[in-house]
Amino acid sequence: MTPTDPHNRLNLRFIALAIGMFAIGTDSFVVAGILPSVAEDLDVGVSTSAELITAYALAYAILSPLVASVAGRASRKLLLIGGLAVFVAGNIGTGLAPTFEAAMAFRVVAALGGAMFTPTAAGAVVALAGPERRATALSILFGGLSAATALGSPIGTAISGVTDWRGTMMFVAAVGALAAVAVLIGLPAVPRPPAVPFKQRLSPLADARITLTLVLLLVSYSGLFVLYTYVSQVFRPATGGAGTTLAWLLFAWGVAAVVGNLFAGRLTDAYGNRVVINTAGVTAVFVFLTTPWSSQHLVSAFVAVVLWGACGWAMLVPIQHRLVGVNPAASQLSVSLSSSANYIGVSLAPVIGGFLLDHVVSANHLGLPAAAVVATGLLIGELSHRVIVRGTGAVAAATDTLTPAANPSPANHP
């Protein structure tokens, strides 16, 4: 493939956007690894410092559909670069914040930048790639997000061990600035999509099948990220409090997450979304239940985070598959809502975990109630499955009534 090959040029454009996704994904995951450093520097408790994760995730979940509605007629390239500029400013502000309250405010600013960039980037690659290369383009784009779990978060955690948490925020800001330059230079003008009113973006919630599936996502990821938020404390016996050792554990978690995400699609196609959701979820529950013991030694901690990372991320694809299958005509809006549900779940995780640590359990036993939250999500998932099956059966029965079988043999009535 030559440098002038149009496919090569397209890939370079997508890589520019993927760098932005890497920065935003790193910002989403890296704070969990530096909470003790943040808490000590800003003179707050670790559970209080975890509210920085809540502020970012909740602001992103709320602002993402609002920005998409309000800025529907804005230039896509301007929105991408503007989003990255706001994101960089938010992270620099966080890194320079003199107080915890100031850091919280700048986390919201960073989330606004992420909410401006991520949905716009997804729309841009779809518009530029065309139908024949759409899947490849999206895989490059969201490869940046996967790379953030495998590389960005552990690198940021390691930087915190060498400097402090403020150095980590500057690292994230630098990657965001690099992405802004890449988009400015490498991305052409992008066609604007049709504007979608905010009310229409919420219309899939009227379908109980979609709403229950979104609740499955929200609750399950709340439980999965309760442990991730406080990973530095839960696995402190294994790491000895060493930031470098924790960074290696997060690296293992991230690599497993990428692998789990990659295989989830094939497994869902082969066995259906229900099997993959429940298998991955039950495995994650088992891993969480055993953390009081697995967190005591580095080898067992390594095994635990690998299984947890793979299974946690393997649930995302089949949940999206279920959403799309329920109502294919509304699939784009449903997937957009799933992103908000995911971030709301992540935003609730620090609140749930902080309450549990302050009033219920020690860090060593945090995996037990986290497992209960994930199990609750799986029960909601079973309810959504039953509602979907019941609805499909009703449609089939109505069709049978209106359209008699041409050959009413036993083969037509299993």
Domain boundaries, the chain: 1-197, 202-404
User: What share of the chain has pLDDT > 70, as a percent?
Assistant: 83
The reported pLDDT for the residue numbered 225 is 87
pLDDT in tens, 145-202: 777 777 887 888 888 888 889 999 999 999 999 999 988 887 777 666 666 666 777 7
Terminal Cα distance for the chain, rounded? 53
Give me the mean pLDDT over the 210-231 stretch.
90
Q: In angstroms, rounded to a whole number, what is the distance separating the alpha carbons of residues 379 and 392?
A: 20
pLDDT of residue 97 exceeding 60: yes
Give me the mean pLDDT over the 391-413 stretch.
42
Give me the mean pLDDT over the 240-268 stretch.
83
The reported pLDDT for the residue numbered 191 is 64
pLDDT of residue 414 exceeding 80: no
pLDDT-derived band at 307 (thresholds 50, 70, 90) equals very high
pLDDT of residue 406 exceeding 50: no
More confident residue, 376 or 119: 376
The reported pLDDT for the residue numbered 136 is 60
Give me the mean pLDDT over the 226-235 stretch.
88
The reported pLDDT for the residue numbered 129 is 65
pLDDT of residue 393 exceeding 70: no
Query: What's the whole-number average pLDDT of the chain?
Result: 81
Give me the mean pLDDT over the 83-92 stretch.
96
- Of all helices (H) and strands (E), which one includes residue 375? helix 367-402
CA 260, 272, 384: angle at the middle one, nearest 5? 100
Q: Answer yes or no: same fold for 1-197 and 202-404.
A: yes
The reported pLDDT for the residue numbered 395 is 45
pTM score, whole prediction: 0.74
Q: In angstroms, rounded to a whole number, what is the distance separating the alpha carbons of residues 361 and 369?
A: 9
Q: In angstroms, rounded to a whole number, what is the distance separating the alpha carbons of residues 160 and 57?
A: 21
pLDDT of residue 378 exceeding 70: yes
Encode 154-223 in three state secondary structure: HHHHHHHHHCCHHHHHHHHHHHHHHHHHHHHHHCCCCCCCCCCCHHHHCHHHHCHHHHHHHHHHHHHHHH
pLDDT-derived band at 223 (thresholds 50, 70, 90) equals very high
pLDDT of residue 221 exceeding 60: yes
The reported pLDDT for the residue numbered 2 is 44
Neighbours of 95 (CB within 10 A): 19
Q: Which CATH superfamily is domain 1-197 in?
A: MFS general substrate transporter like domains (1.20.1250.20)
Q: Using alpha carbons, select from 130, 127, 135, 122 the residue that is nearest to residue 83.
A: 122
Q: Using alpha carbons, select from 379, 370, 178, 206 the residue that is nearest to residue 277.
A: 379
Class of residue 282 by CB neighbours under 10 A (exposed 0-12, middle 13-18, buried 19+): middle
Q: In angstroms, rounded to a whole number, what is the distance separating the alpha carbons of residues 229 and 311?
A: 17
Pick the CATH number of 202-404 from 3.40.30.10, 1.20.1250.20, 3.90.1150.10, 1.10.260.40: 1.20.1250.20
Q: In angstroms, rounded to a whole number, what is the distance separating the alpha carbons of residues 12 and 297?
A: 43
